[in-house]
Amino acid sequence: MAEELVDIPLIHRDISWLSFNHRVLQEAEDPAVPLFERIKFLAIYSSNLDEFFRVRVAHHRNLMRLGKKTQKKLEFSPKHIIKDILKIVNGQQEHYSKIFEEQIIPELKRNGIRIRRRLELTEEQQHFVEDYFSNHLLPFVQPVLLVNKMVQPFLNNAELYLSIHLKRKGKTNSRSEYAIVKVPSDYSPRFIEIPSEFEGKKDLIILDDVVRHNVSQLFPGYDILDTYSLKLTRDAELYIEDEFQGDLVSKIKKSLTKRNVGPASRFVYDRKMPNDLLNYLMETFNLERADLLREGRYHNNFDFFKFPSFGLDYLKNNPLPPLSYDALEQAEDIFAAIDEKEHLIHVPYQSYESVVQFFEQAAKDPDVTHIKIVQYRVAKKSRIMNALINAVKAGKQVVVFVEVKARFDEEANLKWGEKLEAAGVQVYYSFPGLKVHSKLAIIKKEKNSEHQFYAYLGTGNFHEDTAKLYCDLGLFTSDERLTSEIARVFNFLETVKLPQIEFKHLLVGQFNLRSAIVAKIEREIEWAKQGKEAHMILKMNSLEDKEIITKLYEASNAGVKIEIIVRGICCLVPGKKGFSENIYAISIVDRFLEHARVFWFKNNNDDELYLSSADFMRRNLSYRIETAFPIYNEEIKQEIKEVLKIQLSDNVKARIIDEFYENEYQKVGDDFIVRSQLETYYRLRRQLETQKV
């Protein structure tokens, strides 16, 4: 199969991801997006990019260190990929600066908010900034003179610094010297309100410029010639030499302590920095050209998440308060309501309260004997976790599988695991070489020697905070076809013994997920060859797996119509002659993050529809415990289909995915605007109002 996969057209996953992040930047550029939301998208773009460099670019750097012999075995050159990445990102950074300087700042000014540079300050503002520096920042700026390149201070991960070009006072022929100063954004807000000379207006100064204005205080024997900002991000990988020997949890804990002191993955600097200073810093901090990334005057722009709004709510999105799901939230007995029929919730359009109550009622119900759940990412303050602790106190058996290899949530998950264990919960942790990514929970009730199981299956984590921002689907069911197989998944997680009975309904990673997906694509191919209706609609976050892409190309060539809604990575090339002429792909980036995975196989008008925790990525299909679950309820199935049709009709926020990464907006049905997230919300709202009548 490997030889067969090499010759198909593919977009490298990291180049495709950069195209996705460009779609985020497009939202910051869109004048139809409210101003403060545009600023938020600047923050999202920057936060995404930071993680990308700490993970993906660091990965390519590690591959470069393996040597040429090993690199020859790779399907791509890590050196060339890094070169392509830096070229694309440099272009995006210039675009970013242009948006901020030419659109955001003028628009803020039109709304009475000015961001002041230090040379623009009035005398009163200068005094305020000097007092603020002395009273709040002086102990934390950590000035260091880089004497003869012998002093090499440690640059903390993702913290801001100013590099200073200075000369000794009173010496006409003194040579240039350099220093660095920390911008203490960990001790102070990044955006500081200063007195305005105009009544009713708001003036702000960015923290970096407060330090710039006062830097001469730190080097009294020098003339300050100029200052330039810089930042270093570090490799975020947890390097565990052997996951299969010893205590994996303790190894992860040990590795976490080293994450912020890892090797450089990116050195960001002001693009106006002169080459002499840049070369000096490269030598001082042992940097290579491939480590460098030019940006504008300011870095750590994820701090725009905290940009002050001054109560100007008209510059934000109109609120879309989550709709109640009364069938469960208002039910006296949530389990009786699930017995009556299956229920599907759409978050964040609908409230997450029904999921929380599912566990809170289970903790109190005297007939509930067991609760089991998989936790991949957990909210810091979690009513679900508290319900599990209360359930143990009530004498119930509670099992939680905690995935401690969920990137950047390892520490939080470990803390929750320890807290649950201390309360008496039976906690199981990560498998070596394997992640558990399923979104499953099951509850057992016993009464009069009879038992009944209730389950929740979702496309997103049990996380009360992200449920306000991520578009996910969740199913409540007591269908024995599903609950019996969910119990089988938990048996494997607890005992690591392979199930004795094959999965017939669930598609489970490590067992039948990959083979079942391939088989369902092959079935559509057979329908097409017979001249029958052959059609698939696939929605996911990422599409990268080569085997699946090859099979989709085969399906396209056989005449299968394939529509793809993919938020992020898409390595498949849609519309490519001879490969994918029957494949059309879009991406939707809007106020909420599209996170649900839905696989709709038309199956010659005998539809099969699955929801899933899994993307079509090699890691999901080969190295994780994932779950895709069928929708058997015809009413729910129709509901999901309608939402997919709305998304495919989006002519406001949908971008076309193609091999040119241009992210052109989809234009369908131009006579009527369809913005799918708003359409979905109001569709559900109409349903709610109809039910109340």
Catalytic residues: 437
DSSP, collapsed to helix, strand or coil, labels residue 288 as coil
The answer to whether 248 touches 429, Cβ cutoff 8 Å, is yes
The answer to whether 599 touches 513, Cβ cutoff 8 Å, is no
Distance of CA 332 to the CA centre of its chain: 36
The answer to whether 552 touches 576, Cβ cutoff 8 Å, is no
DSSP, collapsed to helix, strand or coil, labels residue 455 as strand
Q: Return all residues near 560 (Cβ < 8 A) that are at least 6 apart.
A: 521, 524, 525, 527, 528, 534, 535, 536, 582
Residue type, 533: E
The answer to whether 179 touches 152, Cβ cutoff 8 Å, is no
Alpha-carbon Rg for the chain in angstroms? 28
Q: Shortest CA distance to 204 belongs to which of 191, 214, 213?
A: 191
Q: Return all residues near 206 (Cβ < 8 A) that are at least 6 apart.
A: 115, 190, 191, 192, 298
Write down the residue that tokens 């000096």 correspond to. 280
Q: Return all residues near 636 (Cβ < 8 A) that are at least 6 apart.
A: 342, 344, 475
Q: Any alpha helices (H) in 30-67, and if so which ranges?
A: 35-52, 58-64
The answer to whether 33 touches 41, Cβ cutoff 8 Å, is yes
Q: Shortest CA distance to 115 belongs to which of 227, 229, 209?
A: 209
> What count of residues does the chain have?
693
Helix axis angle for 546-558 and 513-529, nearest 10°, is: 10
Q: Shortest CA distance to 308 belongs to which of 28, 48, 112?
A: 112
219: its two tokens = 């080097």
580: its two tokens = 């994918």
268/291 Cα distance (integer angstroms): 8
* φ, ψ for residue 567, nearest 5 deg: -75, -50
28: its two tokens = 């910051």
Dihedral sign computed on CA atoms, order 508, 509, 514, 515 = negative
Helix H or strand E segment including 394: none
443: its two tokens = 């509850």
Q: Shortest CA distance to 405 belongs to which of 615, 540, 262, 248?
A: 248
Dihedral sign computed on CA atoms, order 216, 219, 224, 226 = negative
645: its two tokens = 């049709």
DSSP 324: P
Question: DSSP labels for 499-520?
Answer: PSS--SS-EETTTTHHHHHHHH
Write down the residue that tokens 């920042």 correspond to. 137
DSSP, collapsed to helix, strand or coil, labels residue 33 as coil
Q: How many CB atoms lie within 10 A of CB 211?
A: 28
> Can you name the residues that pair with 402 across neighbouring β-strands?
375
